[in-house]
A and B are shown apart, each in its own frame.
Chain A
């Protein structure tokens, strides 16, 4: 494919690139709290129910994004209400996850059409999402972004030390529920872009990478957003040039960034150790 054809293609998918970019940013940002609140497993659990919701919507012939959001929110609410403690939470997620995935597979099996959507829901399909739904995805991401900024400080406080935050008047329980809703929305968007099975690549890996190289409350979210953006947009742009799906590119870039961040951390620790020995 020559460059001219590539740019023609790019024109066609620019809305998808935009959606990927916005999700990369939001995923990186919310990932910082996913890590701090130890909720990577919850993200995975929510994504499977989101998949079930999307598959149900496909079967019923209604808006797939709406189905995905509904599934996400139900999962987020269940985990948020029943799983205040980490142990309870993990067992609830462990129970929900296969149930959601199984339901989703059932709905897909019942679905008579032959649609790219079928496996797209599990492994990503952004270029097959129509323009209207892309608008919905971007809109949701922007809402999540704004809400995260507003609750950023109290949520940081609560994530660090719930006891003291509550003593200072932070509404811990309400915040936890709001966070679960925001997480559910972000997961629903991610399912459309990268697929239910690969959501963690945009919601956990970028923040986990950033935390390897910094502890600054400003630098970590900024880096996580950049990592998410680079992974999502980079993956879409590279995939355009070939015939392979988008998701493996996104997951590989995001993983590569993580490896590089670990190497940087390792080198720093080694040089610190040398300084200490020298001193």
Chain B
């Protein structure tokens, strides 16, 4: 093993000071900092629909009933269509000529801004439905708020998507209720799914400075403002499903900053394979 130079505390502190000074020196103020927060906010929406659409599409051909196979494919198709709109707009706002496909297929995990809940593995069908329900309830509130965005492009996409997502929520709520209040086994599975996914719901409502900036411009809803309506829906549906809401308030987070679970890398390895293996080819 090659020997490494000694590294002790004063050295590290010195290096850090040097790096900080260098970064201050090269920092160029962005021409429109608001655009950057807007771009970031659009990625947070579009990446979540992209990754959830991908996960849901994994079921195609493997669902427990033909009707479910068809319905889930519809949900995935809606989410992919919404992704094309959100990431298309993100590319436009960024202004570097990147298309929705460039953003989906040519970024690595640390540049993805989706919520962690959508990259969680599908698990059993109940787990998939519970993830869908918890997300749909948030997604619909988000889109209802975005329909009033100060940016007409955002409002237009939100209005269109909200119609689709209202149906997603209707369907996932209905199935969560039926399975929660079905057999002992279906109840047990749905409760287990709820407990596994609950710690991933808090991230939906955390606001950081980028959210605040986009919200201040009236372009994007403040995530925290969506919580009360989401809680009402979730309480009503889970109550009807005879399921018990977990008590813990702990929230896993990081997705919105690009710090993901181990699962996202594998999703991207699948999803981006052809674009990475044959750079520049058109399909």
Q: State whether these chains interact.
A: no
Measured CB to CB, the residues of B under 8 A from A are none
